[in-house]
């Protein structure tokens, strides 16, 4: 893979309000086809449940589409304002939003425009230190509104080690009414909590940081949140690379080439498939040790080999991993230990190189194998698609 500029690691986490099965907060992220722009939107619908979700979804989807248009950010905000209905009793908008527009056309700087409307102020951290930044307050008049709305606009230059943290008010109001936090978690104590978390692990990925924040917010609410709790984290960092080798090469003479390409790769290494693992064992003269500590009836256990981060069975593991990724199942809720380790390594990486062997495995032609498993290449295609679309990872594919 090419040597790197900074990448943007985006992820989020959420808990629903007590007794709700659908969230009134919506987070969306997407990247343009040229991979030069990333847009993230967090919207909080008024109230909770289905109605709030519809309003937040409408707002977030509108913000995403307008952010990729030629319109200026303030004009886009004005259109969203004019489209959103206003609560007749409370005279406030039915949805709030925070939008981060990022340009990836510079190797070391991610130029970011941040628009905040009635959500809690976002945090910016450089390593473990909070960074104060200038916000410009812009007054916008709704076409159908009785008052001017205040939108905060910022321009940021994010570099390696920067983290931008966005949240709904379910985070800052967590614990409200309790003895320890009568006014809620609030901005200051929340910032201190994030700083302490980063001081313990300055390499933490966006997914894990977001989950730690919302877990603490839920704990402050004693496990019964009074509002939807949502946190999104954008981390700028040097890319973390991973290579996944699956399937024997078409020509046996290429076995050594496959092994050398993986072992010379600068990053984490996964080998998926029993035949593929045997090739590595033979060429490297290293033993494969099966890990039987976490037995699973459906998915074979993973194995260990010196120099590799993970060795798994092939088709069953890949297919289950594709399903878990497509359904956005939290890593800790994945039942199979093999699949859990596989998905965790993938999600901790930014760029994934797939080395796929094209030799036909006769076992995969067995009619007793479930049809949904398909062939290796189609499963790899599913994994690549969800990694690029849902998790905004960079992937590359090479056949042997």
pLDDT, residue 88, reads 62
Distance of CA 167 to the CA centre of its chain: 15
Q: Which residues contact 64 (CB under 8 A, 6 or more apart)?
A: 28, 30, 39, 41
Pick from 235, 229, 205, 232: which is nearest to 216 by CA?
229
Interatomic CA distance for residues 32 and 310, integer angstroms: 32
pLDDT, residue 73, reads 79
For the chain, domain boundaries: 7-237, 241-399
Q: Which two tokens stand for residue 32?
A: 């343009």
Enumerate residue ranges in the chain where pLDDT < 50.
Answer: 370-374
pLDDT, residue 371, reads 44
Task: Provide the β-strand partners of residue 241.
Answer: 351
Domain 7-237, what fold? Answer: Phosphatase 2c; domain 1 (3.60.40)
- CB distance 209 to 201 below 8 Å: no
pLDDT, residue 157, reads 97
- CB distance 237 to 6 below 8 Å: yes
pLDDT, residue 373, reads 43
373-400 per-position pLDDT tens digit = 448 889 999 999 999 999 999 999 999 8
Could you give the C-alpha distances from 195 to 130, 131, 191, 213, in angstroms and in order? 7, 11, 6, 11
- CB distance 349 to 393 below 8 Å: yes
pLDDT, residue 374, reads 47
H or E element, residue 54? helix 49-67
pLDDT, residue 292, reads 82
pLDDT, residue 117, reads 93
Beta strands in the chain (DSSP E): 7-15, 25-31, 37-45, 95-103, 110-117, 123-126, 129-130, 136-141, 148-158, 162-167, 229-237, 241-246, 268-272, 289-290, 303-304, 310-312, 351-356, 394-399
């Amino acid at each position: 893979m090419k040597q790197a500029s900074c990448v943007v690691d985006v992820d989020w986490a959420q808990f629903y309000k007590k007794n709700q099965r659908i969230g009134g907060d919506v987070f969306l992220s997407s990247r343009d086809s040229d991979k030069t722009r990333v847009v993230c939107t967090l919207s909080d619908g008024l109230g909770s449940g289905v109605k709030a979700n519809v309003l937040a979804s409408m707002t977030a989807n509108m913000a995403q589409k307008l952010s990729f248009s030629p319109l200026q950010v303030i004009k886009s905000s004005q259109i969203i304002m004019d489209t959103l209905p206003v609560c007749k009793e409370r005279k406030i908008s039915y949805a709030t939003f925070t939008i981060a527009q990022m340009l990836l056309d510079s190797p070391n700087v991610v130029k970011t425009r941040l628009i905040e409307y009635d959500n809690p102020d976002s945090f910016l951290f450089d390593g473990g230190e909070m960074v104060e930044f200038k916000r410009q307050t812009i007054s916008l008049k709704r076409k159908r509104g009785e008052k001017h709305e205040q939108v905060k606009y910022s321009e940021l230059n994010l570099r390696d080690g920067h983290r931008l943290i966005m949240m709904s008010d379910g985070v800052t109001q967590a614990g409200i009414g309790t003895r320890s936090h009568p006014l809620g978690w609030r901005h200051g104590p929340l910032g201190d909590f994030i700083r302490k978390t980063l001081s313990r692990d300055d390499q933490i990925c966006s997914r894990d940081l977001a989950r730690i924040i919302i877990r603490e917010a839920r704990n402050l609410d004693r496990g019964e949140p009074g509002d939807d709790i949502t946190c999104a984290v954008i981390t700028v960092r040097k890319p973390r690379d991973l290579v996944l080798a699956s399937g024997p090469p078409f020509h046996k003479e290429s076995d050594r080439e496959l092994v050398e390409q993986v072992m010379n790769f600068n990053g984490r290494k996964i080998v998926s498939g029993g035949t593929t693992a045997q090739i590595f064992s033979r060429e490297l003269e290293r033993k494969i040790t099966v890990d039987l500590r976490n037995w699973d009836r459906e998915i074979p256990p993973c194995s260990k080999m010196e120099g590799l981060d993970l060795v798994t069975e092939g088709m069953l593991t890949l297919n289950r991993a594709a399903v878990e990724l497509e359904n956005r199942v939290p890593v800790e809720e994945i039942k199979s230990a093999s699949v859990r380790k596989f998905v965790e390594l993938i999600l901790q990486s930014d760029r994934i190189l797939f080395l796929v062997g094209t030799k036909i495995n006769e076992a995969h032609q067995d009619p007793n194998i479930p049809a949904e498993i398909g062939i290796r290449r189609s499963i790899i295609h599913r994994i690549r698609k969800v990694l690029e679309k849902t998790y905004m990872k960079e992937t590359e594919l090479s056949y042997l």
